């Protein structure tokens, strides 16, 4: 059967496709698998209990139940939820946004598909533009969403080696220029896969470069501020007319609700709402319904700050301690865990590729993600790309510890330590 270019583009093997298959397979019952690969958030008991109770109340209220299950929401998203988000941002950060600054999407993954294709590709004036990723490694899920081949251009970071087997990436502003072929800039903060949190100063510099060059700065807050706030450093949230802030309810504990949120200027909001109508008709109502009360009351912030953040911060500390203990005798670096739910392990001079290491670990029942998938848009070859793996620490401590022990064993075998 002849295949269309669209089919070819979106059915070729992709990093995110492989990752989600690994994740689905592991969660669908392969009980012996140690799943340190996917980005599934932890099932935090307090969070689960909260949403379970909320769901009970919805089910028992016939009017609310009928509204959620039986109506299409508008393509911009559920109005009460959008109103509550607007109040939350204005009350807590002194912003002056209105409902025309917020649109919902079917998960934030879908937001990135729409935004990247909106700002990259061929423009009406015949020019071609790309999304600039000022710092790679960057989120694997961006890599394959472009309708055009060269959707991204990316820059290598500078590497700061810290004490005690830690390191940190920084944006290399000396190599960062915004030319006329850039349609938008994008960063995830905290960064998936590294757990890096760009400093307020880095964000300010990017923001002023974006505004001077009249291009949007897309900030992916999937793990960030103000919810779920899996951020272990002193970082602040900022918004302006040229900033497109993307949030999600997934890492709060609701990945099944598929709810993404965009805060941007009205022209962008209207465009995304129109695209939502074409691609989805309407957005799912469950996410907004489950989260409405806590957004209204502001409890989403205390849940994030007092339950979710400390939960992951403890787990990050645990994972780093175990890995350091197990990797004794090997030359390795761990990216300073400043947020998100991953350890980014760098093995300088690794004698096999990270893909080989992934396959060896998979054969031993441990799933991680090989690092080379996290460099979308980085044209130049860089050995570093093949020397890193991403390890999630969201699973139960015993699974994390067992997985890390096997990872270290396999690495030591490779190095002959
Ligand atoms: C950095 C980042 N952005 C966006 C997403 C997409 O999340 P969702 O579509 O569940 O909102 C993820 C998911 O893992 C992520 O890690």
Is the CB of 76 within 6 Å of ligand 1? no
pLDDT at 156: 96
CA triple 45-49-53, angle to 5 deg: 175
Confidence of residue 13 (pLDDT cuts 50, 70, 90): confident
Q: What is the mean pLDDT of the chain?
A: 95
Q: Look up the pTM and report it.
A: 0.96
Q: Nearest-CA neighbor of 311 among 341, 290, 332, 284?
A: 341
- Percent helix, strand and coil across the chain, each to the nearest 5: 45, 15, 40
**Which residue puts its alpha carbon closest to atom 2 of ligand 1?**
222
Q: Render pLDDT for 52-63 as a digit per residue (tens, 0 to 9).
A: 999 999 999 999
Q: Render pLDDT for 352-361 as a digit per residue (tens, 0 to 9).
A: 999 999 999 9
Q: Of ligand 1's atoms, which has the minimum distance to the CA of residue 192? A: 1
Non-local (6+) Cβ contacts of 396 within 8 A are none
pLDDT at 21: 76
Q: How far is CA 51 from the centre of its chain?
A: 22
pLDDT at 26: 65
Is the CB of 365 within 6 Å of ligand 1? no
Q: Render pLDDT for 224-259 as a digit per residue (tens, 0 to 9).
A: 999 999 999 999 999 999 999 999 999 999 999 999
Please give the average per-residue pLDDT across 157-184, as a whole number.
97
Q: Render pLDDT for 181-211 as a digit per residue (tens, 0 to 9).
A: 999 999 999 999 999 999 999 999 999 999 9
Range name among 20-34, 299-313, 333-347 with the lowest pLDDT average = 20-34
> For a pocket test of ligand 1, which of 22, 40, 135, 139 has the largest count of ligand atoms closer than 8 A to its C-beta?
139
**Which residue puts its alpha carbon closest to atom 16 of ligand 1?**
192
pLDDT at 232: 98
Please give the average per-residue pLDDT across 33-43, as a whole number.
91
pLDDT at 357: 97
Q: Render pLDDT for 353-400 as a digit per residue (tens, 0 to 9).
A: 999 999 999 999 999 999 999 999 998 889 999 999 999 999 999 999
pLDDT at 18: 73
pLDDT at 247: 98
d(Cα 152, Cα 183) in Å, to the nearest integer? Answer: 10
323 contacts 175 by C-beta, under 8 angstroms: no
DSSP state of 154: E
Q: Nearest-CA neighbor of 74 among 62, 63, 83?
A: 83
> For a pocket test of ligand 1, which of 222, 254, 312 has the largest count of ligand atoms closer than 8 A to its C-beta?
222
């Amino acid at each position: 059967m002849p295949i269309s270019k669209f089919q070819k583009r979106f059915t070729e093997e992709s990093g995110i496709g492989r990752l989600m298959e690994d994740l689905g397979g592991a969660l669908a019952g392969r009980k012996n698998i140690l799943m340190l690969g996917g980005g599934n958030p932890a099932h935090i008991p307090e969070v689960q209990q909260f949403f379970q109770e909320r769901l009970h109340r919805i089910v028992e209220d016939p009017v609310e139940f009928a509204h959620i299950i039986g109506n299409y929401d508008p393509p911009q998203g559920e109005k009460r939820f959008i109103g509550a988000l607007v109040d939350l941002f204005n009350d807590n950060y002194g912003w002056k946004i209105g409902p025309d600054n917020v649109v919902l999407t079917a998960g934030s993954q879908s937001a990135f598909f729409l935004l990247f294709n909106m700002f990259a590709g061929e423009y009406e004036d015949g020019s071609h533009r790309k999304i600039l990723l000022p710092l790679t490694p960057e989120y694997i899920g961006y890599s394959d969403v472009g309708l055009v081949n060269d959707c991204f251009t990316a820059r290598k970071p500078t590497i700061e080696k810290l004490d005690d087997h830690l390191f940190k990436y920084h944006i290399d502003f000396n190599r960062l220029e915004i030319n006329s072929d850039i349609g938008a800039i994008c960063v995830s903060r905290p960064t998936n896969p590294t757990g890096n949190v760009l400093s307020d100063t880095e964000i300010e510099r990017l923001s002023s470069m974006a505004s001077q060059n009249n291009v949007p700065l897309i900030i992916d807050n999937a793990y960030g501020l103000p919810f779920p706030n899996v951020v272990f450093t002193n970082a602040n949230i900022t918004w302006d007319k040229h900033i497109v802030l993307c949030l999600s309810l997934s890492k709060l504990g609701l990945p099944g609700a598929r709810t993404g949120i965009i805060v941007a200027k009205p022209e962008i909001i209207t465009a995304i709402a129109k695209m939502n109508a074409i691609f989805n008709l309407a957005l799912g109502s469950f996410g907004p319904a489950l989260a409405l009360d806590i957004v209204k009351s502001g409890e989403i912030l205390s849940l994030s700050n007092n339950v979710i953040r400390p939960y992951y911060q403890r787990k990050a500390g645990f994972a780093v301690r175990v890995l350091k203990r197990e990797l004794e005798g090997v030359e390795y670096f761990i990216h300073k865990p400043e947020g998100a739910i991953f350890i980014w392990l760098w093995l300088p001079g690794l004698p096999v590729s990270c893909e080989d290491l992934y396959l060896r670990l998979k054969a031993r029942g441990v799933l991680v993600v090989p690092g080379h998938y996290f460099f979308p848009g980085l044209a130049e070859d860089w050995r570093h790309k093949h020397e890193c793996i991403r390890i999630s620490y969201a699973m139960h401590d015993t699974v994390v510890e067992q997985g890390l022990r096997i990872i270290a064993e396999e690495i030591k075998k490779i190095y002959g330590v």
